[in-house]
Structure 1
Amino acid sequence: MIPLRYLTSYVDDNSRVNMILGDDQRPLRGDSSILLAPKIKLSSGYEMPVLGFGTYKLSGFQCLSAVHCAVETGFRHFDTAYSYENEKDVGDALRTQIKMGNISRENIFLTTKLWNTHHDPRDVRRICEQQLKLLGFNYIDLYLLHFPVGYKNMCDEILKPISEGKLQTSDVDYIDTWKAMEELVKLGLVRSIGLSNFNMEQVQRIIQCSSSKPVVNQVEIWPGFLQKDLVDYCHYNGIVVTAYSPLGQPNRENHRPTYFFSEGMRRLVTKYKKTSVQIVLRFLVDYGVVPIPKLANPFQISQSLNIFDFKLDDTDTRALLGIKSKKRIVKYDLAKDHPFYPFEREDES
């Protein structure tokens, strides 16, 4: 569970926000207020809401409308990436909401990522400035090194350079990339820097070989794939863990992942009078990670922030913790032969 000393209440524009202060205390929602997520303090000194809005595979009108809906619902933490090719859409929607007076830039926590084709330290500042132009802002709250494996840079538009059916990777050391990212903080282009898809050994190497620790490691986490050792290690080192694919990418056609459509989940839905999405997000926040679900349905967006007025009891928490371990969903298989590949390989599992 995220320690209470890291959670802070705050005021967003004219909205009054209440945070979880203990097991029996609930955040209240006034007639004219929007329910907002509590914040956790990063090691850089900045604060990040403990629930974010993911934008992977959202583009065009769908992305614009989803971000507008998310802001109006109360989301203030938004996650995008160069490789999602939607930074302009996300930025346009957020800036429109600012112009409408619904939010201020200071109350937005915006995360984006340095893509694999830009690991060369000479590219880092250039591409970050390009991303800032796409977003339409003059700083990024959190800038993540998206993956430890670098790809060859053919041009900025080619995200996966393939030649003769094989991914063209680079031998750039992510330590050198990280040190170039540290300069972005000194320049004021980004406020905090972190990692994504890094394993425990790679996080440790970053800590040992650089002058600043990552504030975040964003990795795949969902019930059945909780990566407890990695989460515990990051927490021990003061690194916040952000959970992507926090629901396990539910697919109703084949009822995967199994837990999401199980009889046990239906029992929890009935018991707590909450949706399965709300139950999983609440569980993950209490597990001590920051989930960033990608939601496009306006109803789900409007419901997903409403998770701070209930708490799973110990029996139900243990049941979700005890779900049989599953395999990861996001694998980056094309890069599995690179020495910096961070995941278990099929022949090793």
Structure 2
Amino acid sequence: MEEVHGLGLAKSIGVSNFSCKKLENLLTLTKIPPAVNQVEMNPLWRQEKLKEFCKGKGIVITAYSTLGARETLSGPNRVMESQVLKEIAIARGKTIAQVCRRWVYEQGVTLLVKSFNEERMKENLDIFEWELSKEDLKKIDEIPQSRGLSGDFFVSDDGPFKSLAELWDGEL
């Protein structure tokens, strides 16, 4: 990718799902640091350590799964089912999705949204003219952390990652 960048065929280089340890290792091997690290981030998976690490290295975080994720289509979505987030949404006259996306935005993180529904697209834009209160943020900080996607499908005795701890470098 550095060669592609050097040829002017890419403006920036980015990575996805890199932990602090993987980023630190990458930074020792490359001339061009990644501009962005795209990772799962939402009120139930806040990524505080990674956020601070990236900020210190000038790497922008882009959040995906801002509304949570499910390992399977039949599994629960702990973000959208969070009673704390539901109470904040009701008090603010917003949806849980808007609360989640506003929270990500207030973290200084860029975020990805996906919708083909016109009403949801409008809802996605309605996160800018209001703020979460200090009380809201305190309640969110008290929600137990839970990764939406464990990454089991990346773990294999024959692959580079033999366990989830190895895949996520202990940042479970």
Identify whether the pair has TM-score above 0.5, normalized to the shorter chain.
Answer: yes
Q: Which amino acid aligns with 1:301?
A: M
Question: 1:303 maps to what in 2?
Answer: 123
Question: 1:316 maps to what in 2?
Answer: 136
The answer on 1:269 being equivalent to 2:89 is yes
- Rate the CA distance shift 1:341–1:311 in 2: closer, same or farther, 3 A: farther
CA drift at 1:275? 1.5
- Rate the CA distance shift 1:298–1:319 in 2: closer, same or farther, 3 A: same
Counterparts of 1:341 and 1:294 in 2: how far apart (Å)? 32
The answer on 1:281 being equivalent to 2:101 is yes
Counterparts of 1:189 and 1:223 in 2: how far apart (Å)? 36
Higher strand proportion:
1
The higher relative CO (CA closer than 8 Å, separation ≥ 6) is in: 2
Compare CA radii of gyration and give the structure with the larger one. 1
CA drift at 1:183? 1.2
Q: Which amino acid aligns with 2:142?
A: G
Q: Which runs of 5+ in 1 are unaligned?
A: 1-180
Offset from partner CA, 1:202-254 (integer Å, 9 cap, x none): 1111111111111111111122112211121111111111111111037xx97
CA drift at 1:339? 3.5
Contact 1:243 1:290 in 2 (8 A): yes
Q: Which amino acid aligns with 2:135?
A: T
- Rate the CA distance shift 1:329–1:233 in 2: closer, same or farther, 3 A: same
The answer on 1:243 being equivalent to 2:63 is yes
CA drift at 1:194? 1.1
Counterparts of 2:162 and 2:19 in 1: how far apart (Å)? 9
Question: 1:339 maps to what in 2?
Answer: 160
Counterparts of 2:38 and 2:85 in 1: how far apart (Å)? 26
Q: Which amino acid aligns with 1:339?
A: P
Q: Which amino acid aligns with 1:344?
A: A
Offset from partner CA, 1:3-48 (integer Å, 9 cap, x none): xxxxxxxxxxxxxxxxxxxxxxxxxxxxxxxxxxxxxxxxxxxxxx
Q: Which runs of 5+ in 2 are unaligned?
A: none
Alignment of 1:1-349 (within 5 A): 181-249=1-69, 256-329=76-149, 331=151, 333-337=153-157, 338-339=159-160, 343-344=164-165
Counterparts of 1:245 and 1:334 in 2: how far apart (Å)? 18
Tell me the TM-score normalized by structure 1.
Answer: 0.43
Counterparts of 1:342 and 1:205 in 2: how far apart (Å)? 19
Contact 2:155 2:163 in 1 (8 A): no
Q: CA RMSD in A?
A: 2.7
Aligned identity (percent) is 30
Counterparts of 1:280 and 1:308 in 2: how far apart (Å)? 12
